[in-house]
Amino acid sequence: MDYLVLVLKIISIAGIFVLGLMAQRYLPAYVAQKGKNLATKEDIGEITRIVEGIRSQNATELELVRGALQQASQWQTSLAEVERNAIVDFFDECVELIFGKVQVNFGELPIDSGRSLVDYQTGVREQLVMILKKYHRLILYLKPGSEIASAAQKFVTGSIGFGAAFRKHFGRLKAALIEEGQKIDRGEYSAAVSATDAAAKTYHSAIEPFTNAMSEALRDLMVAGNKHLRAGATGAGFEVLAEALKNAAKESAPLIRR
Protein backbone atom coordinates (compact mmCIF):
# COMPACT_ATOMS: atom_id res chain seq x y z
CA MET A 1 0.00 0.00 0.00
CA ASP A 2 2.74 2.44 0.95
CA TYR A 3 4.61 1.42 -2.12
CA LEU A 4 1.64 2.20 -4.33
CA VAL A 5 1.22 5.65 -2.73
CA LEU A 6 4.90 6.34 -3.27
CA VAL A 7 4.67 5.37 -6.93
CA LEU A 8 1.64 7.60 -7.41
CA LYS A 9 3.46 10.54 -5.79
CA ILE A 10 6.47 9.98 -8.01
CA ILE A 11 4.24 9.87 -11.10
CA SER A 12 2.47 13.04 -9.99
CA ILE A 13 5.74 14.88 -9.41
CA ALA A 14 7.02 13.72 -12.81
CA GLY A 15 3.81 14.85 -14.46
CA ILE A 16 4.02 18.26 -12.83
CA PHE A 17 7.64 18.52 -13.88
CA VAL A 18 6.79 17.63 -17.51
CA LEU A 19 3.92 20.09 -17.52
CA GLY A 20 6.26 22.73 -16.18
CA LEU A 21 8.73 22.07 -18.94
CA MET A 22 5.99 22.24 -21.56
CA ALA A 23 4.62 25.44 -20.10
CA GLN A 24 8.06 26.99 -20.05
CA ARG A 25 8.67 26.03 -23.65
CA TYR A 26 5.29 26.54 -25.34
CA LEU A 27 3.30 28.96 -23.17
CA PRO A 28 5.29 32.11 -24.09
CA ALA A 29 4.92 31.34 -27.79
CA TYR A 30 1.23 30.61 -27.29
CA VAL A 31 0.68 33.83 -25.35
CA ALA A 32 2.63 35.78 -27.95
CA GLN A 33 0.60 34.27 -30.79
CA LYS A 34 -2.65 35.03 -28.99
CA GLY A 35 -1.46 38.57 -28.55
CA LYS A 36 -0.64 38.79 -32.23
CA ASN A 37 -4.05 37.45 -33.16
CA LEU A 38 -5.73 39.98 -30.87
CA ALA A 39 -3.59 42.77 -32.28
CA THR A 40 -4.36 41.64 -35.82
CA LYS A 41 -8.09 41.69 -35.11
CA GLU A 42 -7.81 45.15 -33.60
CA ASP A 43 -5.78 46.38 -36.61
CA ILE A 44 -8.32 44.93 -39.02
CA GLY A 45 -11.10 46.62 -37.12
CA GLU A 46 -9.31 49.97 -37.24
CA ILE A 47 -8.51 49.58 -40.92
CA THR A 48 -12.12 48.61 -41.61
CA ARG A 49 -13.34 51.74 -39.81
CA ILE A 50 -10.92 53.90 -41.82
CA VAL A 51 -11.95 52.31 -45.12
CA GLU A 52 -15.64 52.70 -44.32
CA GLY A 53 -15.05 56.32 -43.36
CA ILE A 54 -13.24 57.05 -46.63
CA ARG A 55 -15.93 55.23 -48.58
CA SER A 56 -18.66 57.27 -46.89
CA GLN A 57 -16.75 60.51 -47.47
CA ASN A 58 -16.15 59.65 -51.12
CA ALA A 59 -19.83 58.79 -51.58
CA THR A 60 -20.81 62.16 -50.15
CA GLU A 61 -18.29 63.99 -52.32
CA LEU A 62 -19.40 62.03 -55.37
CA GLU A 63 -22.96 63.14 -54.77
CA LEU A 64 -21.74 66.74 -54.56
CA VAL A 65 -19.91 66.34 -57.86
CA ARG A 66 -22.96 64.74 -59.46
CA GLY A 67 -25.11 67.59 -58.19
CA ALA A 68 -22.69 70.13 -59.64
CA LEU A 69 -22.65 68.33 -62.99
CA GLN A 70 -26.44 68.13 -63.05
CA GLN A 71 -26.74 71.80 -62.21
CA ALA A 72 -24.21 72.68 -64.91
CA SER A 73 -26.09 70.52 -67.41
CA GLN A 74 -29.37 72.23 -66.58
CA TRP A 75 -27.70 75.61 -66.89
CA GLN A 76 -26.25 74.59 -70.25
CA THR A 77 -29.72 73.55 -71.46
CA SER A 78 -31.18 76.87 -70.35
CA LEU A 79 -28.35 78.82 -71.96
CA ALA A 80 -28.71 76.86 -75.19
CA GLU A 81 -32.43 77.64 -75.28
CA VAL A 82 -31.81 81.35 -74.73
CA GLU A 83 -29.17 81.29 -77.47
CA ARG A 84 -31.51 79.56 -79.91
CA ASN A 85 -34.19 82.14 -79.18
CA ALA A 86 -31.71 84.96 -79.79
CA ILE A 87 -30.70 83.47 -83.16
CA VAL A 88 -34.29 82.95 -84.30
CA ASP A 89 -35.41 86.39 -83.05
CA PHE A 90 -32.61 88.15 -84.92
CA PHE A 91 -33.34 86.15 -88.08
CA ASP A 92 -37.05 87.05 -87.86
CA GLU A 93 -36.28 90.74 -87.52
CA CYS A 94 -33.96 90.59 -90.53
CA VAL A 95 -36.69 88.94 -92.60
CA GLU A 96 -39.17 91.59 -91.48
CA LEU A 97 -36.85 94.41 -92.51
CA ILE A 98 -36.24 93.03 -96.00
CA PHE A 99 -39.64 91.60 -96.92
CA GLY A 100 -41.88 93.69 -94.71
CA LYS A 101 -40.21 97.06 -95.13
CA VAL A 102 -37.56 97.32 -97.86
CA GLN A 103 -39.50 95.48 -100.58
CA VAL A 104 -42.80 97.25 -100.00
CA ASN A 105 -44.74 98.39 -103.07
CA PHE A 106 -45.62 102.02 -102.42
CA GLY A 107 -48.33 101.86 -105.07
CA GLU A 108 -50.25 99.48 -102.81
CA LEU A 109 -50.38 101.94 -99.93
CA PRO A 110 -53.72 103.74 -99.48
CA ILE A 111 -54.08 107.33 -100.63
CA ASP A 112 -54.64 108.96 -97.25
CA SER A 113 -52.79 112.27 -97.46
CA GLY A 114 -49.50 110.58 -96.63
CA ARG A 115 -50.46 109.02 -93.27
CA SER A 116 -49.54 105.52 -94.46
CA LEU A 117 -46.21 106.80 -95.76
CA VAL A 118 -45.44 108.47 -92.44
CA ASP A 119 -46.34 105.25 -90.61
CA TYR A 120 -44.11 103.32 -93.00
CA GLN A 121 -41.22 105.72 -92.41
CA THR A 122 -41.64 105.37 -88.65
CA GLY A 123 -41.87 101.60 -88.97
CA VAL A 124 -38.61 101.40 -90.93
CA ARG A 125 -36.76 103.44 -88.34
CA GLU A 126 -38.14 101.33 -85.49
CA GLN A 127 -37.21 98.15 -87.35
CA LEU A 128 -33.63 99.34 -87.82
CA VAL A 129 -33.38 100.02 -84.09
CA MET A 130 -34.81 96.58 -83.36
CA ILE A 131 -32.20 94.99 -85.65
CA LEU A 132 -29.41 96.62 -83.65
CA LYS A 133 -31.01 95.64 -80.36
CA LYS A 134 -31.41 91.99 -81.37
CA TYR A 135 -27.90 91.91 -82.80
CA HIS A 136 -26.26 93.09 -79.58
CA ARG A 137 -28.28 90.53 -77.66
CA LEU A 138 -27.28 87.81 -80.11
CA ILE A 139 -23.54 88.37 -79.86
CA LEU A 140 -23.70 87.89 -76.09
CA TYR A 141 -24.12 84.17 -76.72
CA LEU A 142 -22.06 83.57 -79.86
CA LYS A 143 -18.41 82.76 -80.12
CA PRO A 144 -16.59 85.64 -81.88
CA GLY A 145 -15.78 84.81 -85.47
CA SER A 146 -18.46 82.13 -85.79
CA GLU A 147 -20.40 81.83 -89.05
CA ILE A 148 -23.55 83.19 -87.45
CA ALA A 149 -21.74 86.11 -85.86
CA SER A 150 -20.08 86.98 -89.17
CA ALA A 151 -23.34 86.80 -91.12
CA ALA A 152 -25.16 88.84 -88.47
CA GLN A 153 -22.46 91.52 -88.50
CA LYS A 154 -22.64 91.65 -92.30
CA PHE A 155 -26.39 92.14 -92.15
CA VAL A 156 -26.15 94.87 -89.54
CA THR A 157 -23.53 96.70 -91.61
CA GLY A 158 -25.88 96.58 -94.59
CA SER A 159 -28.82 97.77 -92.48
CA ILE A 160 -26.83 100.76 -91.21
CA GLY A 161 -25.98 101.72 -94.80
CA PHE A 162 -29.61 101.25 -95.80
CA GLY A 163 -30.74 103.42 -92.90
CA ALA A 164 -28.46 106.26 -93.99
CA ALA A 165 -29.69 106.08 -97.61
CA PHE A 166 -33.30 105.83 -96.43
CA ARG A 167 -33.06 108.95 -94.29
CA LYS A 168 -31.42 110.87 -97.12
CA HIS A 169 -33.74 109.95 -100.01
CA PHE A 170 -37.07 108.69 -98.69
CA GLY A 171 -38.29 112.15 -97.69
CA ARG A 172 -38.25 113.32 -101.31
CA LEU A 173 -40.00 110.17 -102.49
CA LYS A 174 -42.62 110.53 -99.77
CA ALA A 175 -43.32 114.15 -100.76
CA ALA A 176 -43.59 113.15 -104.44
CA LEU A 177 -46.03 110.34 -103.64
CA ILE A 178 -48.19 112.64 -101.53
CA GLU A 179 -48.14 115.27 -104.28
CA GLU A 180 -49.11 112.70 -106.87
CA GLY A 181 -52.05 111.53 -104.80
CA GLN A 182 -53.42 115.04 -104.49
CA LYS A 183 -53.41 115.90 -108.20
CA ILE A 184 -56.69 115.78 -110.02
CA ASP A 185 -55.87 117.59 -113.23
CA ARG A 186 -54.55 115.16 -115.82
CA GLY A 187 -51.64 117.35 -116.85
CA GLU A 188 -50.59 118.07 -113.29
CA TYR A 189 -51.02 114.41 -112.39
CA SER A 190 -48.79 113.36 -115.30
CA ALA A 191 -46.07 115.76 -114.15
CA ALA A 192 -46.40 114.50 -110.57
CA VAL A 193 -46.03 110.90 -111.75
CA SER A 194 -42.81 111.83 -113.58
CA ALA A 195 -41.49 113.52 -110.44
CA THR A 196 -42.41 110.44 -108.38
CA ASP A 197 -40.68 108.13 -110.86
CA ALA A 198 -37.49 110.20 -110.69
CA ALA A 199 -37.56 110.28 -106.89
CA ALA A 200 -38.22 106.53 -106.75
CA LYS A 201 -35.34 105.84 -109.14
CA THR A 202 -32.96 107.90 -107.03
CA TYR A 203 -34.21 106.23 -103.85
CA HIS A 204 -33.91 102.66 -105.13
CA SER A 205 -30.49 103.31 -106.66
CA ALA A 206 -29.27 104.61 -103.29
CA ILE A 207 -30.56 101.68 -101.23
CA GLU A 208 -29.85 98.90 -103.75
CA PRO A 209 -26.22 98.14 -102.73
CA PHE A 210 -27.28 97.82 -99.12
CA THR A 211 -30.41 95.76 -99.79
CA ASN A 212 -28.29 93.37 -101.88
CA ALA A 213 -25.75 93.10 -99.07
CA MET A 214 -28.51 92.43 -96.53
CA SER A 215 -30.12 89.79 -98.76
CA GLU A 216 -26.80 87.99 -99.15
CA ALA A 217 -26.14 88.21 -95.42
CA LEU A 218 -29.61 86.84 -94.72
CA ARG A 219 -28.89 83.79 -96.87
CA ASP A 220 -25.59 83.25 -95.05
CA LEU A 221 -27.36 83.65 -91.73
CA MET A 222 -30.00 81.12 -92.68
CA VAL A 223 -27.39 78.52 -93.71
CA ALA A 224 -25.19 79.10 -90.65
CA GLY A 225 -28.14 79.20 -88.28
CA ASN A 226 -29.58 75.99 -89.69
CA LYS A 227 -26.23 74.23 -89.33
CA HIS A 228 -25.74 75.58 -85.82
CA LEU A 229 -29.18 74.62 -84.52
CA ARG A 230 -29.22 71.18 -86.12
CA ALA A 231 -25.82 70.37 -84.69
CA GLY A 232 -27.03 71.34 -81.25
CA ALA A 233 -24.05 73.69 -80.86
CA THR A 234 -24.14 76.19 -77.98
CA GLY A 235 -21.38 78.61 -78.86
CA ALA A 236 -19.83 80.26 -75.86
CA GLY A 237 -22.29 78.44 -73.59
CA PHE A 238 -20.53 75.11 -74.21
CA GLU A 239 -17.19 76.60 -73.21
CA VAL A 240 -18.71 78.00 -70.02
CA LEU A 241 -20.12 74.57 -69.19
CA ALA A 242 -16.79 72.88 -69.86
CA GLU A 243 -15.09 75.35 -67.52
CA ALA A 244 -17.70 74.68 -64.84
CA LEU A 245 -17.18 70.92 -65.10
CA LYS A 246 -13.42 71.32 -64.92
CA ASN A 247 -13.69 73.48 -61.80
CA ALA A 248 -16.05 70.97 -60.16
CA ALA A 249 -13.61 68.14 -60.80
CA LYS A 250 -10.68 70.21 -59.57
CA GLU A 251 -12.44 71.05 -56.30
CA SER A 252 -13.53 67.49 -55.58
CA ALA A 253 -10.29 65.66 -56.54
CA PRO A 254 -8.23 66.59 -53.41
CA LEU A 255 -11.08 65.44 -51.17
CA ILE A 256 -11.33 62.08 -52.89
CA ARG A 257 -7.57 61.53 -52.76
CA ARG A 258 -7.63 62.00 -48.98
Q: Where are the domains of the chain?
A: 78-251
**Tell me: the pLDDT tens digits for 20-49?**
555 555 556 655 555 555 556 555 666 566
**51-55, 135-139, 252-256: segment of lowest average pLDDT:** 252-256
* pLDDT surpasses 80 at 253: no
pTM, to two decimals: 0.62
**For 137-185, how does the pLDDT look when each residue is reduced to its tens digit (9 = 90+)?**
999 888 888 999 999 999 999 999 999 999 999 999 999 999 888 887 8
pLDDT at 235 over 50: no
Question: How far apart are the C-alpha atoms of 69 and 9, rounded to whole Å?
Answer: 85
What gap in Å lies between CA 156 and CA 171, rounded to an integer? 23
Q: 258 near 70, Cβ under 8 Å?
A: no
Percentage of the chain surpassing pLDDT 90? 41
> Cα separation of 50 and 52, whole Å?
5
Compute the chain's Rg from CA coordinates. 46
At residue 127, does pLDDT exceed 80?
A: yes
Is the per-residue pLDDT at 1 higher than 80? no
